[in-house]
Chain A
Amino acid sequence: MTEYTPAVYGTGVKATIQRVGGHLAGMIMPNIGAFIAWGLITALFIPTGWLPNEDFAKLVDPIIKALLPVLIGYTGGRMVHGQRGAVVGAVATMGVVVGADIPMFLGAMIIGPLAAFVIKLVDGFVQQRTRAGFEMLVDNFTAGIAGAGMALLGMWGIGPIVRVVTDAAGEAVEWLIGNSLLPLASVLIEPAKVLFLNNAINHGVLGPLGVAEAVKHGKSILFMLESNPGPGLGLLLAYLFFGPRSLRPSTPAAMIIHFLGGIHEIYFPYVLMKPRLILAVIAGGAAGAFTFLITGAGLVATPSPGSIFVYLAVTPKGGWFGVLAGVVIATAASFAVAAVLLGFGRKSGDDETPADETPESQPAPQEA
């Protein structure tokens, strides 16, 4: 496998960044089902939705502003200190939730684990000093007191700070959108993505910012920057036609898993084994983002997994054109650049020159 092994691979710094990012994504991803539920309710029942319904639409606000942050804080707490950490984390998250009128995802990602860490320290201190028979009393009250205290801290201390940070980040994003600079984000996003920072970027950074925007404007383009399945599909299509012979048979299955199943990890190895192809997915990502930008496309919630089905499910009414256009154009751009970089089969790394025959006959509807 020498040919497929990139030279420098896996430094300590990268693993550390991955680990921190993994913790951020780890607070969000177990709760994606709740996000989808909210996305469906929103897309259906808000006044501009498919089936406007005033009563059902009352669910929208409490879920996004209270339930989802509390779930994040709960999960973050559980990662630090099990069930007790989860409970204290959830209580503490209510502090940042009540103190703010925006969805406090970032706040929850900070205070949930922090509160759990506090009760972990308290437990370590108190448990050896507790007399037999008083464990339950002490455990319940330490958790209650720590939770209450952290909720107050969240409301007065952490909430306002996170608010300022979120507002500043939101303004920076709007400036990027206003100046049509958002496609440049692909230059950072795509390489980070194939280094397995995909979840960290999408769920740790873009998701929380996107939710703030979606609540304000009903949709957000930020959900689509990392999760667009187009660039990966274009790359796999290029591999199908012009890649090394040995890899061609596996690409149709990879395409299905990637584009329909939404597991993007499946295409990362195809980039990592020929690193210059990163240019292809960057081009695809940027072309897609640009298309989303000029068509005013957006999604109501994080599409996770990044499957075309999820994309269509969380597209607001009337938004399918821009969304599909962005995915198709991203696919085409990525395919075109990857095809050139693979030399249309001549630089594929094979010993024999494949020119005349193409063994696979997988239909390729997306290449424009």
Chain B
Amino acid sequence: MADIETTDIRKIVVACDAGMGSSVMLASQLRKQLKGLGIEVQHTPVNSIPADADVVVCHKGLADRARKTAPDTVLIPITIFIGDPAVTRLVTTIKNGGTVHG
């Protein structure tokens, strides 16, 4: 399980099956919440997570595939798409500083 210091987070990738639906929605929510912190939020298909991603967010049902594409990246699996506690925790941690556990 990888960890990352919040100060090292430059790019968060939200992944879903096609990279066109739920990930876009979640990415735009995250982008708003993290505005002004200098963190890029990107959405991609889970099969093509870019190598420079620092944190990957995706639904639990796709976590196996995300681990295969980005094995060494911190992975935040989520359960629901609106108001997931794991996402809230990620945003709070980034804002307050600390370590994000994958």
Q: Do A and B come from one complex?
A: yes
Q: Nearest CB to that of B23 among chain A residues?
A: A265
B20, B22, B25, B61: most-surrounded residue (chain A CB, <10 A): B61
Q: Is residue B64 within 8 Å, beta carbon to beta carbon, of the partner chain?
A: yes
> Are B82 and A265 in touch, CB under 8 angstroms?
no
Question: CA of A12 to CA of B61 in the docked complex: distance in angstroms?
Answer: 11
Residue from the list A200, A273, A305 in contact with B21, Cβ < 8 A:
A305
> Are B17 and A199 in touch, CB under 8 angstroms?
yes
Residue from the list A10, A14, A196, A257 in contact with B25, Cβ < 8 A:
A257
> Are A254 and B82 in touch, CB under 8 angstroms?
yes
Also in contact, A196 and B45, with CB within 8 A (given A15-B64, A253-B82, A265-B81):
no
> Are A15 and B65 in touch, CB under 8 angstroms?
yes
Question: CA of A198 to CA of B60 in the docked complex: distance in angstroms?
Answer: 15
Question: CA of A270 to CA of B68 in the docked complex: distance in angstroms?
Answer: 26
Q: Is residue B71 within 8 Å, beta carbon to beta carbon, of the partner chain?
A: no
Question: CA of A26 to CA of B20 in the docked complex: distance in angstroms?
Answer: 10
Residue from the list B18, B62, B64, B79 in contact with A25, Cβ < 8 A:
B18
> Are B68 and A15 in touch, CB under 8 angstroms?
yes
> Are B18 and A196 in touch, CB under 8 angstroms?
no
Q: Is residue B80 within 8 Å, beta carbon to beta carbon, of the partner chain?
A: yes
Q: Is residue B46 within 8 Å, beta carbon to beta carbon, of the partner chain?
A: yes
* Cβ contacts A268-294/B at 8 Å (1 or 0 each): 111011000000000000000000000
Question: CA of A264 to CA of B60 in the docked complex: distance in angstroms?
Answer: 16
> Are A269 and B83 in touch, CB under 8 angstroms?
no
Residue from the list B17, B81, B85 in contact with A1, Cβ < 8 A:
B85
Question: CA of A263 to CA of B61 in the docked complex: distance in angstroms?
Answer: 16
Q: Is residue B63 within 8 Å, beta carbon to beta carbon, of the partner chain?
A: yes
Also in contact, A26 and B47, with CB within 8 A (given A12-B64, A265-B16):
yes
Count of chain B residues near A, Cβ 8 A: 24
> Are B20 and A269 in touch, CB under 8 angstroms?
no
Q: Is residue A18 within 8 Å, beta carbon to beta carbon, of the partner chain?
A: yes
Residue from the list A12, A266, A273 in contact with B81, Cβ < 8 A:
A266
Question: CA of A247 to CA of B59 in the docked complex: distance in angstroms?
Answer: 17
Q: Is residue A23 within 8 Å, beta carbon to beta carbon, of the partner chain?
A: yes
Also in contact, A10 and B64, with CB within 8 A (given A22-B17, A199-B18):
yes
> Are B20 and A29 in touch, CB under 8 angstroms?
yes
Q: Which residues of B contact A270 (CB under 8 A)?
A: 80
> Are A196 and B62 in touch, CB under 8 angstroms?
yes
With contacts A266-B22, A266-B25 known, what are 18 further pairs, Cβ within 8 A? Answer: A5-B79, A9-B60, A9-B61, A10-B64, A15-B68, A18-B17, A19-B68, A22-B18, A25-B18, A26-B45, A29-B20, A198-B17, A250-B82, A254-B82, A265-B81, A266-B81, A268-B59, A273-B79
Can you report 6 A-B residue pairs in the complex whose CB atoms are below 8 A from each other? A1-B79, A9-B60, A15-B68, A199-B18, A272-B61, A272-B79
Top 6 A-B pairs, shortest CB-CB distance: A15-B64, A265-B22, A269-B80, A263-B21, A29-B18, A250-B82
